Amino acid sequence: MGMFRDRIAAIKPLFFLLCLLPLAHLVWDTLHDALGTDPVAQLEHRSGDWALRLLLATLAITPLRRVTGWHKAIRFRRMLGLFAFFYATVHLTIYAAIDLGGFWSQLLGEIAKRPYITLGFSAWLLLIPLAITSTQGMMRRLGRRWQRLHRLVYIAALLGVLHFLWLVKADHREPVIYLGVLLGLMLWRVPWRTLGRTLASGKSGQLPVRT
Amino acid sequence: MRIPFRDNLPASAITPEPLYRRRRDVLKLLGLGAVALGSGCSPEATPQAAAPAAPESIPGKSLTIARKLDTTMGETGTRYKDATHYNNFYEFGTGKSDPAANSGGFHPQPWNVEIAGHAEVTGHFTLEDILKPHPLEERIYRLRCVEAWSMVIPWVGFPLGDLLKRFKPTSQAKYVAFTTVQRPAEMPGLNYPVLNWPYREGLRMDEAMHPLTLLVVGMYGHALPNQNGAPLRLVVPWKYGFKGIKSIVKIEFTESQPTTTWNESAPDEYGFFSNVNPAVDHPRWSQKTERRIAGDGFNLFGNRIATKPFNGYADQVASLYAGMDMRKNF
């Protein structure tokens, strides 16, 4: 492996570039007038899609580890989460800086007044502390609190999916797929066996949750 | 069956007096009367500003146009490619590019239209019978979608009112209801109940008879492409685009307000009238501004413009709604 600690460390830079591909594709299409009739809407939809996909991918890491036994997958989680935040930021920037162009005074009003924008903006806000505390140093410093704080990602993902669901006019098939994936990943986290045992033995109290 | 059509009468004898006057007012207000209604043979007399600068090759049968009118007073036009590849026609799929991609197997010929309801003349008519007596006009209109984007499109058609009069609607005819064709084999979007098919729309009688309300058979000088509602569609420029029902197979004169598809789907979001109104937001998004899709080539910035009441046609149509609360009757 030479300069890398192990194989994962060697793959990581490639994985980083892979996560940048959607952005490169967007930039390429923008420069080549390949975004179609309504380029601003395209930029918004595609950056938003990738924010959601990467957020769901982040939430899929734990189930993936448990199901496959490939525990090293955890080492990709932070990068996935940070890229989800990155694409959400690109998405918000395109909306605020390009789409609203010339009508910036509407921005705060729109965030407050339009439920789907309120949800999307809240999701982005929730991701900020998670991005800031994503470093090793922060993990050490926050200890147990780190895990509690990072459970915010579940709420952010739910808000993000609802943001998509709410803006659609009539055909809900695509956002419902995202919602289905999210629900699947959340249901997997419910400790069904422990839950069953606890209920059977009549004990209550805090249940362990797989994070 | 053929429709009796008397073409030896002066126009004023056929057209009801108030309507006739209003039509003249429309043209006067637009300041285009004599100019735009001239023969169009002198190039400087025909407004050209809205036509795309770079000529695009346009498929479809070329249409003979008797006269031209640019109601936008020279706003930059939308490219043919954009107006025909960015469509909401859910019968061919809900994506914007689905109609162009999925409408190749649709057959707009032969075509029949059923005329029904409160009129002296009703029955099934061929498209040729429907179109025959009407000279075609080009009208450049703004198209404002309820999704807050807009285009500027040169439609080819004739006033709907001119057609409706031929069937002699009775005094019970208070509304006109329209229905889109329903052919699951040719329209793949019909296989998914995203809306309650068939698509239906409607107008109040005075709206239907208004001279700006156009029955359209073409765009950009050529026959309508399938994805834009071939062979016959409605265009009501002061209303949100979904009121412009496509591929019409039935026109019915009704006494009560007809059920319309989007209103049925989400009554709190899409009203029967659906006049373009920046003061009444869609419950989920703002209608104060719109993203204008027009001009040559690609432009990321500066596309957002303020939406005008009645899409800029307030002088011509606001009187239709005098005394009505447009917040209730959105």
pLDDT digits (tens, 9 = 90+) for A30-58: 999 899 899 999 999 999 999 999 999 99
Residue B154 within a domain: yes
Segment A84-134, tens digit of pLDDT: 999 999 999 999 999 998 798 889 999 999 999 999 999 999 999 999 999
- pLDDT of res. A104: 86
> Quick check: A37 and B85 CB within 8 A?
yes
Residue A185 within a domain: yes
pLDDT score of B297 more than 80: no
Instruction: Tell if the pTM clears 0.90, that is, is over it.
Output: no
Residue B24 within a domain: yes
pLDDT score of B53 more than 80: no
Alpha carbon distance B92, B155 (integer Å): 21
> Quick check: A37 and B286 CB within 8 A?
no
Q: Give how far A57 is from chain B: nearest CA, Å.
A: 25
Which of B81, B265, B288 lies nearest to residue A170, judging by beta carbons? Answer: B265
Q: Could you list the residue range(s) of the whole structural domain that residue B27 is in?
A: 12-321
Residue B330 within a domain: no
> Quick check: A38 and B149 CB within 8 A?
yes
What does the DSSP 8-state code read for residue B37? H
Confidence bin at B39 (pLDDT 50/70/90)? very low
Domain containing residue B61: CATH number: 3.90.420.10
Annotate B142-202 with DSSP letters as a single string. Answer: EEE-TTSEEEEEEEEEEEHHHHHHHT-B-TT--EEEEEE---TTT-GGGGS-SS-SSPEEE
Q: Give how far B278 is from chain A: nearest CA, Å.
A: 14
Q: Could you list the residue range(s) of the whole structural domain that residue A22 is in?
A: 7-201
Segment B116-161, tens digit of pLDDT: 999 999 999 999 999 999 999 999 999 999 999 999 999 999 999 9
- Domain count within chain B: 1
| Any B CB within 8 A of A176 CB | no
- Domain count within chain A: 1
A108-167 residues touching B, CB cutoff 8 A: 110, 113-116, 166-167
Residue B329 within a domain: no
B138-197 residues touching A, CB cutoff 8 A: 147, 149, 192, 194-195
Residue A1 within a domain: no
| Any B CB within 8 A of A29 CB | no
Annotate A172-183 with DSSP letters as a single string. Answer: -HHHHHHHHHHH
* Percent of the residues in chain B that have a pLDDT greater than 90, as a whole number: 79
Q: Residue length, chain B? A: 330
Residue A22 within a domain: yes
Q: Which residue of A has its CA nearest to B85?
A: A37
Residue A193 within a domain: yes
Residue B197 within a domain: yes
